[in-house]
Amino acid sequence: MTEDTPRTDSAVSNSVRKGNPLLEVNDLQVHFMLEEGTVRAVDGVSFDMPAGRVLGVVGESGCGKSVLARSIMRIVRPPGEVVGGEIIYHRPSRNGGSPDVIDLNQLPLNGPEIREIRGSEITLVFQEPMVSFSPVHTIAQQIIEGILLHQDVNKAEARNRAIEMLRRVGIPNPEVRIDEYPFNLSGGMRQRCMIAMALSGNPNMLIADEPTTALDVTTQAQILELMSELQQEYGMAMMLITHNLGVVAQMAEEVIVMYLGKIVEHTDVRTLFKEPKHPYTQELLKSIPRLRRQRQTDRLTAIAGSVPSPYVRPKGCPFHPRCPKFMPGVCDELEPQLTEVGGRHMVSCLLYSEDAKKVSSGAGNG
Ligand SMILES: Nc1ncnc2c1ncn2[C@@H]1O[C@H](COP(=O)(O)OP(=O)(O)OP(=O)(O)O)[C@@H](O)[C@H]1O
Ligand SMILES: [Mg+2]
């Protein structure tokens, strides 16, 4: 770390210890009220986000990953609405005392408190940085504005800090590039600037929503490595949202697998890859390329069927129409709950439910 690098003392380590919950999401529900019907984009999601750790969030397109991220930041826009649940933030205290406990869902939308948290304590890197950067302001104006808003520094200090952050994320000649407009930079450079902007406030948690999907494979690898380095160096928590289980294997410590707005499996990354319990996770794993010593001709398996229309949620387990282990009369009738199947391994599947076993043996006898 260089002298100018921010966060030499981690606020997280002061009062929220690594591994303890930084965020507790309880039964979060986000609906989109549309003419065609209600989309339950996030449908009763509960999990803890540990301080200083990397949590991967995976699942097919439309399963609610981005809406989950936006709802933590309180930036879901109509017709979307958070209709229930809690987002408990253990806000690290600056002076090393006990953390403040705040339900982000209870803070007034766009009030000063949530804006302060959103701008510097919990930040978001989007898939497409052009959406987040204003095209009519230079990179300098945008990063420096953020620093001035949230940190007690003057303009010159904020500029130095921004340049240092840009250098840290691998922008060559940051003293010069900082005065360019976003459209003058390549996609990879913009994404690096986006990360610099998100980190310049010394966040306790970074949410990265498909941070590299729009980039070529080499740049993707560089950016992921950079994020991993910075995450460890700064000791921040990171929620890494991706379609890509390969990225999760490389970066995450814990993983949440989502399907149709629900968590279907939550465990540590090693267990997820070695002993996936949910048939959806098992199918997802079959669909990733093996990186080592696999022939180019080896084919990937696609998950059968497609994600159902968001307006017509299947009865029972939402995955049952596509599930290779579908149990008639059980999976299309009962709704599975997320339950523990081993130490910190949570699965929402009727294969592991005692109630379901009773129903299926009853059906067999009858
Ligand atoms: N602005 C919106 N208006 C209506 N429906 C929306 C809106 N934003 C999201 N949704 C719906 O919410 C559900 C979850 O969407 P979300 O963007 O969170 O998916 P995702 O998992 O991030 O997908 P992807 O991997 O493609 O980014 C989808 O069914 C989507 O159609
Ligand atoms: Mg998304």
DSSP string, 98-154: PPEEEEGGGSPTT-HHHHHIIIIIEEEE-S-HHHHS-TTS-HHHHHHHHHHHHSS--
The pLDDT of residue 295 is 53
Nearest Cα residue to atom 4 of ligand 1: 32
- Which residue type does 63 have? C
Asked if residue 257 is part of any domain, the answer here is: no
Q: Do 186 and 153 sit in the same domain of this protein?
A: yes
Nearest Cα residue to atom 9 of ligand 1: 67
Q: Do 227 and 89 sit in the same domain of this protein?
A: yes
User: Residue 130's domain spans which residues?
Assistant: 11-243
Expressed in angstroms and rounded, the spacing between residue 176 Cα and the centre of ligand 2 is 33
Nearest Cα residue to atom 16 of ligand 1: 64
Q: Do 228 and 266 sit in the same domain of this protein?
A: no
List, as one string, the DSSP characters of 57-111: EE-STTSSHHHHHHHHTT---TTEEEEEEEEEEEE--TTSSPPEEEEGGGSPTT-
Ligand closest to 68 (CA) is 1
Expressed in angstroms and rounded, the spacing between residue 78 Cα and the centre of ligand 1 is 13
| CA 294, chain centre distance (Å) | 30
* Whether residue 260 has its Cβ less than 6 Å from ligand 1: no
Atom of ligand 1 lying closest to residue 261 CA: 14
The pLDDT of residue 234 is 83
Q: Do 184 and 275 sit in the same domain of this protein?
A: no
Separation of alpha carbons 123 and 201, rounded Å: 8
* Whether residue 61 has its Cβ less than 6 Å from ligand 1: yes
- DSSP state at residue 289: P
The pLDDT of residue 130 is 63
Ligand closest to 262 (CA) is 1
Q: Do 223 and 288 sit in the same domain of this protein?
A: no
Expressed in angstroms and rounded, the spacing between residue 81 Cα and the centre of ligand 1 is 13
Asked if residue 89 is part of any domain, the answer here is: yes
- Which residue type does 300 have? L
Question: Closest Cα to residue 34, out of 309, 345, 315?
Answer: 309
Atom of ligand 1 lying closest to residue 70 CA: 18
Question: Closest Cα to residue 11, out of 137, 151, 111?
Answer: 151
Expressed in angstroms and rounded, the spacing between residue 258 Cα and the centre of ligand 2 is 12
Asked if residue 206 is part of any domain, the answer here is: yes
Q: Do 236 and 270 sit in the same domain of this protein?
A: no
Separation of alpha carbons 100 and 177, rounded Å: 39
Expressed in angstroms and rounded, the spacing between residue 132 Cα and the centre of ligand 2 is 15
For the chain, the domain total comes to 2
* Whether residue 262 has its Cβ less than 6 Å from ligand 1: no
Q: Please say whether the beta carbons of 299 and 317 come within 8 A.
A: no
Q: Would you give per-residue pLDDT tens digits along the chain (366 residues)?
A: 343 444 434 444 446 777 789 999 999 999 999 988 899 999 999 999 999 999 999 998 899 999 999 999 999 999 999 999 999 999 988 777 777 899 999 999 889 999 989 878 999 988 766 667 888 999 999 999 888 888 889 999 999 999 998 998 889 999 999 999 999 988 888 888 988 888 887 899 999 999 887 777 887 888 888 888 889 988 899 999 998 888 899 899 999 999 999 999 999 999 999 999 999 999 999 876 665 545 555 555 677 777 787 778 899 999 999 999 999 999 999 999 999 998 889 999 999 988 777 776 665 443
Expressed in angstroms and rounded, the spacing between residue 47 Cα and the centre of ligand 1 is 20
Q: Do 279 and 148 sit in the same domain of this protein?
A: no
CA angle 251, 262, 240 (to 5 degrees): 20
Separation of alpha carbons 16 and 97, rounded Å: 9
Q: Please say whether the beta carbons of 348 and 339 come within 8 A.
A: yes
Expressed in angstroms and rounded, the spacing between residue 327 Cα and the centre of ligand 1 is 29
Atom of ligand 1 lying closest to residue 30 CA: 12
* Whether residue 71 has its Cβ less than 6 Å from ligand 1: no
The pLDDT of residue 117 is 92
- DSSP state at residue 353: -
Asked if residue 248 is part of any domain, the answer here is: no
Q: Quick one: tokens of 21? A: 């919950």
Q: Do 99 and 209 sit in the same domain of this protein?
A: yes
Asked if residue 26 is part of any domain, the answer here is: yes
Last residue of a domain, one of 210, 243, 276: 243
Q: Do 97 and 149 sit in the same domain of this protein?
A: yes
Atom of ligand 1 lying closest to residue 34 CA: 4
Q: Quick one: tokens of 175? A: 């003293």
The pLDDT of residue 290 is 60
Asked if residue 117 is part of any domain, the answer here is: yes
Q: Please say whether the beta carbons of 45 and 27 come within 8 A.
A: yes
Domain with 165 in it: what CATH number? 3.40.50.300
Coil, strand or helix: which one is 339? Answer: strand
The pLDDT of residue 300 is 55
- Which residue type does 106 have? Q
Separation of alpha carbons 162 and 139, rounded Å: 9
Separation of alpha carbons 4 and 167, rounded Å: 11
Q: Do 204 and 271 sit in the same domain of this protein?
A: no
Expressed in angstroms and rounded, the spacing between residue 63 Cα and the centre of ligand 1 is 7
Q: Do 189 and 289 sit in the same domain of this protein?
A: no
Asked if residue 251 is part of any domain, the answer here is: no
The pLDDT of residue 363 is 55
Asked if residue 249 is part of any domain, the answer here is: no
* Whether residue 242 has its Cβ less than 6 Å from ligand 1: no
Q: Do 151 and 85 sit in the same domain of this protein?
A: yes
* Whether residue 32 has its Cβ less than 6 Å from ligand 1: yes
End-to-end CA distance of the chain: 69
Q: Hey, which bits of the chain come out as E strands?
A: 21-34, 37-50, 54-58, 80-91, 100-103, 122-125, 205-209, 237-241, 254-259, 262-268, 339-342, 345-347
Last residue of a domain, one of 209, 243, 277: 243
Atom of ligand 1 lying closest to residue 42 CA: 14
Q: Quick one: tokens of 46? A: 């509960």
* Whether residue 62 has its Cβ less than 6 Å from ligand 1: yes
